Amino acid sequence: MKIRFTKMHGQGNDFVVIDAVRQSVSLDREQVRRIADRHFGVGCDQLLVVEPPTTAGNDFRYRIWNSDGGEVEQCGNGSRCFVRFVLDQGLTTKTEIRVETASGVIVPRLESTGQVTVDMGAPRLAPAQVPFDAAEERVTYPLVVDGVTLEVSVLSMGNPHAVQVVDDVDRAPVTTQGPRIENHPAFPKRVNAGFMQVVSRDAIRLRVWERGAGETLACGTGACAAVVSGIRRGLLDSRVRVTTRGGPLSILWPGPGHAVMMTGDAVRVFDGEIEL
Ligand SMILES: N[C@H](CCC[C@H](N)C(=O)O)C(=O)O
């Protein structure tokens, strides 16, 4: 099976994007892992597949797989690349599109600046919506990891996030503690682990150990989750510049019941074809 793809990234979080509107694509877990493999395949953090919508009124459906082969509910940086992709490929002429994902409809919009703003929907704060094993909803929760009690915010942006505040992200134990949090038994579907350094009330630095992908250079839903948790902790105002290792993201959250708005780049790197 030959598959045409486009390699893209959003702040260094990189993707293989496949048009399944005009080509027939059916991938199993091993084929996804092969495409994502940085030695035996193309290499990416996530694989994104563009499909026709399943519901009238929506423009596309968008499916997301982590490099470990697991299909997931949402990808913030990927949603920005999605807009750039469908416009570049001539799949639409709309600059604001309604996209079905496994966790609901999101609305990315191409700005005149070339950046993309995405309405990521409202954060889900109830533990059962994450899912997370906790008796009640709290701003932060104690989480014991290797005998150390962490104070984490836990929420869903369609996908699960556990965010802690650290003094210096460059010295945070992202690659050692991250996988321990990702696989903690309190998260039945595992979790993305965020490490947030508060620089000021409108600026943070962020590193994320992603579920199913490891540390990425940026995580869009992770940036949304970090800002929501910082606002709920009383540490941040509603508009925050998030500095990731791959570049900046702008996040706006007016507060409970409102959607989180994310703005950032979407870059096409090259087109290719892979034989599976
Ligand atoms: N690893 C995530 C999916 C990709 C999210 C990230 N790349 C983003 O930009 O939001 C998860 O398993 O929920």
Digit-coded pLDDT (tens) for 49-61: 999 999 999 999 9
The ligand 1 atom at the shortest distance from the C-alpha of residue 224 is 10
**Active-site residue, selected from the candidate residues 44, 81, 219, 224:** 219
Point out the ligand 1 atom lying closest to the alpha carbon of residue 210.
1
Which residue's alpha carbon is nearest to atom 11 within ligand 1?
211
pLDDT tens by residue, 201-218: 999 999 999 999 999 999
Q: Mean pLDDT of all residues in the chain?
A: 97
Identity of the residue numbered 112:
S
Local structure of 57: helix, strand or coil: coil
Q: Is 81 a known active-site residue?
A: no
pLDDT of residue 239: 98
Task: List residues forming the annotated binding site for substrate.
Answer: 13, 46, 66, 76-77, 159, 192, 210-211, 220-221
**Range 8-28 average pLDDT:** 96
Alpha-helical regions (H) of 96-219: 174-182
Please work out whether the CB of residue 46 comes within 6 Å of at least one atom of ligand 1. Answer: yes
Band (pLDDT 50/70/90 cuts) for residue 38 is very high
85-126 pLDDT, tens digit per residue, is 999 999 999 999 999 999 999 999 999 999 999 999 999 999
Which pLDDT band, with edges at 50, 70 and 90, does 130 fall under? very high
- Whether 66 is in the pocket of ligand 1, judged by its Cβ within 6 Å, is yes
Task: Report the nearest-CA residue for atom 12 of ligand 1.
Answer: 211
Q: Which of 226, 232, 253 is nearest to 140 (CA)?
A: 232
Per-residue pLDDT at 126? 98
Single out the catalytic residue among 44, 75, 81, 224.
75
DSSP letters for 163-201: EEE-S-GGGS-HHHHHHHHHT-TT-TT--EEEEEEEEET
212 within ligand 1 shell (Cβ under 6 A): yes
pLDDT in tens, 166-208: 999 999 999 999 999 999 999 999 999 999 999 999 999 999 9
CB atoms within 10 A of CB 207: 25
Decide whether any atom of ligand 1 lies within 6 Å of the 77 Cβ: yes
Provide the pLDDT for residue 150. 98
Which domains are present in the chain?
A: 2-112+266-275 (3.10.310.10), 127-258 (3.10.310.10)
pLDDT at residue 1 in the model: 85
pLDDT for the residue numbered 273: 97
Average pLDDT for 251-257? 96
Instruction: Give the separation between CA 145 and CA 181, rounded to whole angstroms.
Output: 7
Is 219 one of the catalytic residues? yes
